Structure 1
Amino acid sequence: MIASLSKISSYKSMNPIITLSPAILGALVVLQAGLNRKVASQWGLSAALLLNAVVLLIVALLIFALVLVKADWFSNTIRPSIDFKTFSIWFLLPGIIGCILVFGGPWAIAKWGAAQTFILLMSGQLLASLIWDLKVEGIAVSYVRLLGIGFTWIGVILACKWK
């Protein structure tokens, strides 16, 4: 309990942008899917997906080049340290999952609307994050976290049933 309280107090002293970054990222996910839906309505969803992939490749290459040229500007976690001997086929999964998200977000918004899509998406994220924390990070599942997720799912049911 004391350890978790010290974590909370350390969060208060953080940079507000860093503290709010998950919420900002969440808003960007909705914005990206909504904008992709607009592109898809004129060009088709597969073309919107391809456009996203091309833009991502260009931006990623520019960032990669900047990090190589100005490595001292970036932390070790951002600097590349590629060793092809350590490559595993599962390294491709994040890209495949990203493709599914870029394709699925606009489709789901067109079918159910943004609010219902992202309420359902959040409930899936909460369950997946609990499992990830337990299995990958070794963080125990507490009753408080389960209760919080339970309340969220009650909200999901209410939001999806009475739109």
Structure 2
Amino acid sequence: MTNRPIIQLTDAQKGDKQERAQINDARKESSHESTLEYPQFQELSYQYQPNAFFPAFPMAKCDQGYLCEVCGDEVTSIVESDLYLRYVLGQLDAEKLHLSPERHLRCNPVLSQYIDDERFDPVTVDSDFDKRVLDATFVSQQTERVSKAYRRLWQIAQSETPISLLEYPIDS
């Protein structure tokens, strides 16, 4: 399903390039059902068709960025991305990145509790997955691994030269 409006044009409108440009401009300006009137043509109406990623938002995914599936806010940076942290850790394949849900690191405290870095405020988990009640050896290994991946996110974000997506993951 596309996120473009459904437009019904008369034969006269189909051939008129100027009219198509006006329709495209109107598309960009409108986010909900609208009606456009043109004196030389019959009334033209269109309606936004929602897509699977943004059922209530007309903005294109590439214009808005990824929304957190927990809080609904935009994840604005790779260093706050649970999705990319999991990718760097090797928990996701590159082919699955665009299909996987995004979350802020803070919105996934079960994973982010293992980040030990001065740039990240510690989080706690009040459940059976709280690292304070888990095996100390496991917690130490997990903290080292997740913290290394978090530092890798910062390295990627601060790099002056592009880094291939395939080079993001850390060596386990």
Give the alignment's TM-score, normalised by structure 1.
0.28
More helix by share: 1
Higher relative contact order (CA 8 A, sep 6+): 1
Give the alignment's TM-score, normalised by structure 2.
0.27
Structure with the greater alpha carbon radius of gyration: 2
More strand by share: 2
